[in-house]
Amino acid sequence: MFERILYIISEKEEEKHTVMEIARQYNSTVLLAAISPVPTCPPPLTEGKTRQVVRQEDYERQCWQDIYRLEDEFKKSGIKASVVAQLGAIDNLQSLVHNTHCDIIILPISVLSDYNFHLPEDFLPNLPCPLLLIPNQ
């Protein structure tokens, strides 16, 4: 039923285990992707542009490490997994969904907390597949 699952990763173990259970049940391939949160507060006034760029690069590097670590974890559990080579904002999620040709999107509610629990206005009406929101556990 769900050959390809697009999983927008989160930091919560319970959400990861839910995705693993679904993938096992349907013998699915899990496509792992991440979205960058909106900055919650401005940088310190004493921080220069170079430091801001370095902080952003460090954050993105950590996201990629998390995605690849998760891919290894899925594979060690016997679940087919692949990293989607895109780390973007929630506004880019629509193009990611279309480009991956997935059968279902699994989006943890915790990921949406950085966006005040809102998706882009045109996201839901233009989805080519179902969206499963995983509640906070």
Domain ranges in the chain are: 4-134
Beta carbons of 104 and 129 less than 8 angstroms apart: yes
Task: Please tell me the distance from the alpha carbon of residue 50 to that of residue 85, in angstroms, as a whole number.
Answer: 26
Q: Output the pLDDT for position 117.
A: 80
The tens place of each residue's pLDDT in the chain, 137 residues long, gives 899 999 998 878 999 999 999 999 999 999 998 876 544 445 556 778 888 778 878 877 887 888 899 999 999 999 999 998 665 667 677 888 888 899 999 998 888 877 778 887 877 888 889 999 998 76
The tokens describing 130, both together, are 């179902």
Q: Output the pLDDT for position 58.
A: 84
Beta carbons of 105 and 129 less than 8 angstroms apart: yes
Fold of 4-134: Rossmann fold (3.40.50)
Would you give the end-to-end CA distance of the chain in angstroms?
26
Contacts of 103 (CB under 8 A, 6+ apart): 1, 2, 3, 4, 5, 28, 129
Q: Output the pLDDT for position 49.
A: 81
Q: Output the pLDDT for position 137.
A: 61
Q: Output the pLDDT for position 45.
A: 60
